[in-house]
Structure 1
Amino acid sequence: MPTPVAPLRAPALAAVLLLALSACADPEAQGAAESGGAGGESPFNLAAEQDRVRAEAVPEIAGLVPEEIREDGALTVGHSSGGAPPLAFYADDDETVIGVETDVAQLVADVLDLEYRPEATGWDNLFLSVESGRYEAVFSNVTVTEERKDLFDFATYRVDTVSFEAATGHGFDEIAEPADIAGLSVAVGSGTNQEEILLRWDQENQDAGLEPADLQYYQTDSDTYLALQSGRIDLYLGPTPSASYHVEVARETEIVGTISGGGEVRAEIAAMTLKDNGLVEAVNAALDEVIGSGRYQEVLERWAVDGEAVTESEINPPGLPRS
């Protein structure tokens, strides 16, 4: 049975973010950050030229790459175009994808002695593109689930945590369990593991006779935060790195609770490859190599997500249970 993840405290995350070095997200959020928004500038470098942390090729590990994938000498990696800093998002040229996900993927490609070829697409298309063979791997904050393991292989590289964000001065106590969201309106991304957590919590509350939560869905982060500031919603549940970034840049919200991306169980973020094509073993070995060399830690510290670091990569660990 996976073990619960200890909550990450907002003050510690904030302190790390203020020391971070590089990036931002969609053009609207980026504009707000550069103009100061409600009080801050991005702690990250938004330029397309990122001066990424790099790794050396390791022939023994590169030799694990299946021949059909090695033929063109490149690793084509999918990233979500709908991401938010500091995960995977557009640089200030509105074309180049930057963030912790791209930097980890670059390290893996380096060790495998392959050219790193990033491509950005919509979240749902990431999975279809791996199935079709367009992408050889995906690095995009993907959580391991038992259902996804039917079609894909996974090599883990981060612990998955999510955070509740509220407008400053909200008056809420810490959000830590299902009863804490009873009667509240909560924004969440459709089709995400965060949504599954809220649906599960809400059903548990209703079974216990508590007031139901009102789940809200918005197309963009800017719409979500406008609703949060105007009081149309009480909370927003999203990835901890993005929530922490927004808190520090906008200075309009605060984190009021952090939980595992699996709710009551440990959740893992992983690189995703096609099931049984042999690539996952090479990716796993490359991740262990950069973890051991310290390059991985440099990348996570650069993007202020070292609170989600792992000490080794695992292939296909227990995933979130089927819904």
Structure 2
Amino acid sequence: MKQVALGSQGLRVFELGLGCMGMSAFYGDRDDTESVATVHRALDLGVTLFDTAEVYGPFTNEKLLREALGGRRDEVVLATKFGLRIEDDGTVVGPDGSPAYARRALERSLRHLGTDHVDLYYLHRVDPDVPIEESVGGMGELVAEGKVRCIGVSETSAETLRRAHAAFPVTAIQSEYSLFERDAEHNGVLDTARELGIGFVPFSPLGRGFLTGTFQTRADLPEGDARRALPRFGEEAIAANLRVVEALGRIADRKGCTTAQLALAWTIAAGTVPIPGTRRRARIEENVAATEITLTAEDLAEIDAASPHGVATGARNVEAALARDRR
């Protein structure tokens, strides 16, 4: 299995990871039995990067990973996140990127994950009231104590990423990036990460599932699914975006792969380590098979023509979240 460097601080991972959020939060009903089986199948296929966060549940997803990883913890690069103050009863209070909360949240995450350290600890979102230097400085103290191997940030601007890395070496930045969401190519974040030797980890590399071709109408989203509130999943937006998926599907057909595999192969070809989320064994098998696809220069040009920057109809998130993610 192909291993790649994630950042410049020594982490190495399989070139595609597993985002575990949807197993426990935001995407409708849970199926813990199938989710655990999916984690096991991912391990057997060679996946090493597993991504969670304390807010997924809250806490439920970390506990699920503890159960699923069992005695195989040493085989994986385990990533979790903090950044929203969450009380022990699960009440979400608001942003908190302080060093004190970083420590408190990590200690709780270690208990929930059943481990003595995490390999990659992310600041989930920048706290507007705490300078980024203070946040990553506190995270750096946890590295010095051996409770964290490397640190990361999520959804920051290029300027904030540069400031964070100057204060303490950042191993990875996690941001939304896909054939539907290419802002990272145009706002300087991807170029800054490459310049500084910071790994780029795309979340939602399948456009929050849209690039799988699963959704034909809004009714295909289950009740309780958070995507129902997103502009990109409105009825008119879905109809427009399906035309993009169909165009990509024609390219995928010629390559002998699925549209989802084409989209994942594209993110890998960009030098990133995507973490598509799934809670089904069949999907993790499909996703991992994307690592075997080689895209030629001609393929990439055709993909760019079918899905250029700004092609998707509807914003990727609600405006309040977009404003927060520009910090």
Shorter-chain TM range is 0.3 to 0.5
More helix by share: 2
- TM-score, normalised by the number of residues in structure 1: 0.32
